[in-house]
Amino acid sequence: MSLLHGLLLGLGTAVLLGPVFMTLLRNSLQYGVKNGILTAIGIICSDILVVSICYVFAGDFVKYYVNSPGVKLLGALILIGFGISFIRSRKNNIQSSIAEIRFNGKLKSFSQGFLVNFANPTVFVIWIGFVTIAETDYLTLLERIIFLLGILIGIFITDITKTVGAHYISNFLTTYNLNYVYMLLGSCLILLGCYLGFQGLVLL
């Protein structure tokens, strides 16, 4: 029951549209399914680290991290940096070197998935909520772990589904249209980064 409960909550995260979703979508469109999956693996590895931190240090440490102006500013810089790289992406440039795609694409896809997820304070807030539900609804440590594992599985399933869906859509898009998609995703990341940076500056 705890596994099913967690799985349903994890699948429910599919409706969340944020920096992680945009990074996953862009890498799937630009580098293909395999690199999109690597991005999803980076995201889930980051989530495992985040939930471990939230479970062990749920309290003042995590609250300080979430509300720290320095963390918000650092996250803003990461999002803005990725946004700029998205805008500079061009499908025709990418296709010019298959060997470069295979190396750089895989390395970047995993690291971008991990960093964008971990640098986003909102991810910590969400996982604090999940940890609170686990501690409230389940009495034993095993049940809590199974519940949180179910959430992780649900998130990973939704990310893989988004990856396959994005790749399928890319087959119907021209290079010209893909360039505009990359620009849109990059612009959204920059705007989210600016908003996060503004929150950090307000807290200074």
Which pLDDT does position 45 carry in this prediction? Answer: 94
Q: Using DSSP, state whether 7 is helix, strand or coil.
A: helix
Give 88-102 pLDDT, tens digit per residue.
765 444 443 334 444
For the chain, residues with pLDDT lower than 50 are: 91-103
Which pLDDT does position 87 carry in this prediction? Answer: 74
The answer to whether 156 and 48 are in contact (CB under 8 A) is no
Which pLDDT does position 92 carry in this prediction? Answer: 44
Q: Using DSSP, state whether 16 is helix, strand or coil.
A: coil
Which pLDDT does position 147 carry in this prediction? Answer: 93
Longest Cα pair distance anywhere in the chain, in angstroms? 56
Which pLDDT does position 150 carry in this prediction? Answer: 93
Range of the domain at 55: 2-203
Closest CA to 58 of 143, 114, 117, 127: 127
Which pLDDT does position 127 carry in this prediction? Answer: 85
Q: How many domains does the chain have?
A: 1
Rounded to an integer, what is the distance from CA 46 to the centroid of its chain? 8
Per-residue tokens: 133: 């539900």
φ/ψ of residue 63, rounded to 5: -60, -35
Which pLDDT does position 15 carry in this prediction? Answer: 65
Q: Name the one residue in this structure whose structure tokens are 């469109």.
A: 29
Query: CA dihedral in degrees (116, 34, 14, 186; nearest 10)?
Result: 40
